Chain A
Amino acid sequence: MRTGKATLALGIAAAMLMAGCSTGPSDGTVTLQMVESLTNPARTKLLKELIAEFEQKHPKIKVNLVSPPTNQADQKIQQMLQSGNGVDALEVRDTTVGPWSTNKWLYDMSKDLKGWSGWKNLTENAVHASQDVHRKTYFVPYGFYGLSLFYRTDLVEKAGFKKPPANWAELLEQAARIQNKDKRQYGYAFRGGAGAGNNVVAAIEAYVADTIDPGNGYKLIDGTSIFAAPQALDALDTYFKLFKKASPPSSVAWGYPEMVEGFSNGSTAFLLQDPEVIATVGQSKAIKKDQWSTAPLLTGPTGKAVQPLATAGWGIAKAAKHKPEALELIKFLSQGEASTTFTKENSLVPILKKASEDDFYKTGPWASYVTMTAHPDVYVAVPQPRDVPWWSEWSQKSDAEVQRVLLGKMSPKELLAGWDKYWTEKWKSGS
């Protein structure tokens, strides 16, 4: 009896060990460990469906998707990468690719993807984003987060304007006219809290669009920082007036949730946000479908705007046991139906050229994205240096300093001088 139990226990232990090995039994089936970062329940479900499709096409590959909660995901992935096993394919973001590749945790796919037939289907932005400055491919982007202006069609019309604002100055004019504090109607959903710095930079970039370095959104062609340009001060002048004259006073502390809520519940007439907000606003009960739309990103005085295009994609861990299989998975996710479905359902700017022909992207709130893609000379896509190691330090610094200006403890001039010094010194130190 006792020996029987012991044998059983041993057997179970052995079985568990076998299951733990990713190579599995002798039939050659490979199990890939895949980790996602920007997890949300709907997206995980969709990913699992796409994976099931992939597994059907590749019967010898199984994919095990690990979905840590978003706010800890990157740290979890970091720990997994550091331990050197347990990850094959993973989600890499433009903010994580820098440190992770420096620490030699990511696999450079450029050689394996040489001659890949998929390249020609990708948009220029997608090809560009898949290579770092040394032409190494640590991830293939699955989509982009680009800014557009959400606006209230009814309020704009009521205030006597025929069109939504096309540039920052017009936005100030329209938002200020709509603002009516006594009725709790505000013009612009200002971002003063987390992420405040990003929107300030978007305004500055529009004002220096003619001389911006196409490879680095924080630099001018002459090598100096965009914050040193005289136009930057004009940009800030308009931008901070927007806060004083046309935004809720408490928006000093507004981050993503407050901005989106402010627009969705009808309190503010304008909102500058990523396309994922289209779905959220679409569910609003306070404003109906015909009361809002989106317009292209605001331009500067010379009629150009600079699209920051934040991105993320799929990559392979350097310590991965099954690189060829992981590569197959990434190719699958970056092409055809799989890619289109993923970008559509996640409200992302697509990576495939053909997607802009899709009716989905031609109509309603999405139309402004097609407009922007169709006019790359007006809406210039310039990557921001989000992959530098000091990016999160910079984000926190810039957010806090924008708040200092809003609270009247710092002048816009001081802000620009400080930011110029910060970036110039960082670039000089070489890393």
Chain B
Amino acid sequence: MEERQLRGQPDVTLSTHQQVERPSPEGGARPARKSAGRRPRKPEFTARRGLVIAGYMAPAALFVAAFVYYPMVRGSQMAFRHWNLTDLTDTSWVGLDNFRAVLEDPAWPTILGNTALWVIASLVPQFVIGFAIALWLRRNFRFRGLYQALIFFPWAISGFLIGILFRWMFNSEFGVVNDLLQKAGLIDHPIAWLAEPRMAMLAIIVANVWYGVTFFAIMILAALQSIPDDVYEAAQLDGAGKARTLFQITIPYIRTTLALTVLLRVIWIFNFPDLIFGMTGGGPNNETHILTTWMITITQQGDYGKASALGLVVVALLLVFSVFHLMATREKATREEKGARS
């Protein structure tokens, strides 16, 4: 009873608000707010309300604490100890030695560069192609549902399996890629895709683009569906061309979704060793390793201390990136909002 009273008032505003932004919680929100012209009133905060909120959050918070944060903290202590599976009778504290070993490893600069290349070169085509597919799927046409299902299919396959499939497809002698290129007359001799470091990097990125396009298509399509049709109609009446509609209506409307999906994808691509492991195992000559495949390799060697240190370095890098990314995108959005209000 009390709860209802407490929640009753804001619920009304929330529910109307939610309808607009449902497809993408952040995406449609701002333009909707602009048109409403005022922010929803904040409910008064009392100690009692605080307790209620805490009570509701407790089960999830406890669960996450027990199964995510506790193991994480427990695991990270290995980074500061000599922790080698080959001899667990000695697990003494070694301070920052493991971090030093990571940063002083001759492979470190190459692998860091590879990681950046892997993320950027995978992300950009994934984004562009995914966006294009989403725009195309937004229109109504026959069998749209079927096309959607087919396009989303790769997302359901395990990364390791994709790696193995592409490993055979890119096989120089028996693979379908060279066969098609040769039949099309584009190359005379088979390309040794996975045998040459640069080509191998290209091959794993191609495979990753194939895999990741889907995610952008799904997310962007969901956001696109939140844009009301009348906005487009109005734009058409005002004589806006296709490009202008895209850059001045579509993109601003779904900017927050775009920013968040890019953030998510950067983190996921960064943490996606499966495909590389199945395809090249980091070779040839360790030149397709990224930080996370390297971490697995170190784990396989039994050096959990060094692997944990590398894991913490990865967390730190991603954290810094996330903060900058969120700050940059938020700044832009608030600046625009201010501009729109004044």
In the assembly, what is the distance between CA of A390 and CA of B173, in Å? Answer: 35
A residues touching B (Cβ–Cβ < 8 Å)?
78, 82, 98-99, 102-104, 184, 186, 192-194, 248-253, 255, 258, 261-262, 265, 267, 389-390, 392-393, 396, 399-400, 403-404, 406-407, 409, 431
In the assembly, what is the distance between CA of A253 and CA of B168, in Å? Answer: 11
The number of residue pairs between A and B whose CB atoms lie closer than 8 Å in the complex comes to: 87
- Given A261-B174, A267-B173, A396-B301, check contact A250 B195 (CB 8 Å): yes
Partner of A267, one of B84, B174, B196, B286: B174
CB distance from A115 to the nearest CB of B (A): 32
CB distance from A142 to the nearest CB of B (A): 24
Partner of A392, one of B89, B284, B300: B300
Whether, in the assembled complex, B252 has its beta carbon less than 8 Å from a beta carbon of chain A, the answer is no
Q: Which residue of the partner chain B has the closest CB to A410? A: B285
Q: Which residue of the partner chain A has the closest CB to B286? A: A400
In the complex, chain B residues whose CB is within 8 Å of the CB of A267:
173-174
CB distance from B23 to the nearest CB of A (A): 40
From 301 to 329 in chain B, residues with beta carbon under 8 angstroms from any chain A beta carbon are: 301-303
Instruction: Establish whether residues B284 and A389, one from each chain, have CB atoms under 8 Å apart when the complex forms.
Output: no
- Given A400-B285, A407-B284, check contact A248 B88 (CB 8 Å): no
In the complex, chain B residues whose CB is within 8 Å of the CB of A194:
281, 283
Instruction: Establish whether residues A252 and B284, one from each chain, have CB atoms under 8 Å apart when the complex forms.
Output: yes
Residue total for B at the interface (Cβ-Cβ under 8 A): 29
Instruction: Establish whether residues B302 and A389, one from each chain, have CB atoms under 8 Å apart when the complex forms.
Output: yes
Q: Which of B281, B300, B301 neighbours the largest number of chain A CB atoms within 10 Å of its CB?
A: B301
Instruction: Establish whether residues A396 and B89, one from each chain, have CB atoms under 8 Å apart when the complex forms.
Output: no
Instruction: Establish whether residues A193 and B197, one from each chain, have CB atoms under 8 Å apart when the complex forms.
Output: no
Instruction: Establish whether residues B285 and A407, one from each chain, have CB atoms under 8 Å apart when the complex forms.
Output: yes
In the complex, chain B residues whose CB is within 8 Å of the CB of A396:
297, 300-301
In the complex, chain A residues whose CB is within 8 Å of the CB of B85:
78, 99, 103
Q: Which residue of the partner chain A has the closest CB to B281? A: A194
B residues touching A (Cβ–Cβ < 8 Å)?
84-89, 171-174, 190, 192-197, 200, 280-281, 283-286, 297, 300-303
CB distance from A361 to the nearest CB of B (A): 33
Partner of B283, one of A104, A258, A261, A400: A400
In the assembly, what is the distance between CA of A406 and CA of B195, in Å? Answer: 9
Q: Which residue of the partner chain B has the closest CB to A402? A: B285
In the complex, chain B residues whose CB is within 8 Å of the CB of A103:
85, 87-89
Interface pairs (9), CB distance under 8 Å: A99-B85, A250-B190, A389-B302, A393-B303, A396-B297, A399-B283, A400-B283, A400-B285, A407-B284
Q: Which 6 A-B pairs have the closest CB atoms?
A: A250-B172, A389-B86, A252-B195, A250-B192, A253-B194, A99-B86
Instruction: Establish whether residues A249 and B172, one from each chain, have CB atoms under 8 Å apart when the complex forms.
Output: yes
In the assembly, what is the distance between CA of A424 and CA of B196, in Å? Answer: 32
Partner of B173, one of A82, A99, A184: A184
In the complex, chain B residues whose CB is within 8 Å of the CB of A390:
86
Q: A99-B302, A253-B200, A393-B302 are known; give 19 further A-B pairs, CB within 8 A.
A: A98-B86, A102-B86, A186-B173, A193-B284, A194-B283, A248-B173, A249-B195, A250-B192, A252-B284, A253-B192, A255-B281, A261-B174, A262-B173, A389-B87, A390-B86, A393-B301, A393-B303, A396-B297, A431-B87
CB distance from A3 to the nearest CB of B (A): 31
In the complex, chain B residues whose CB is within 8 Å of the CB of A249:
172, 192, 195
- Given A103-B88, A409-B285, check contact A253 B302 (CB 8 Å): no
In the complex, chain B residues whose CB is within 8 Å of the CB of A102:
86-87, 89
In the complex, chain B residues whose CB is within 8 Å of the CB of A255:
281
Instruction: Establish whether residues A392 and B197, one from each chain, have CB atoms under 8 Å apart when the complex forms.
Output: no
In the complex, chain A residues whose CB is within 8 Å of the CB of B301:
392-393, 396
Instruction: Establish whether residues B173 and A250, one from each chain, have CB atoms under 8 Å apart when the complex forms.
Output: yes
In the complex, chain B residues whose CB is within 8 Å of the CB of A261:
174
In the assembly, what is the distance between CA of A253 and CA of B171, in Å? Answer: 9
CB distance from B200 to the nearest CB of A (A): 7
In the assembly, what is the distance between CA of A406 and CA of B194, in Å? Answer: 13
In the complex, chain A residues whose CB is within 8 Å of the CB of B280:
253
Instruction: Establish whether residues B173 and A404, one from each chain, have CB atoms under 8 Å apart when the complex forms.
Output: no
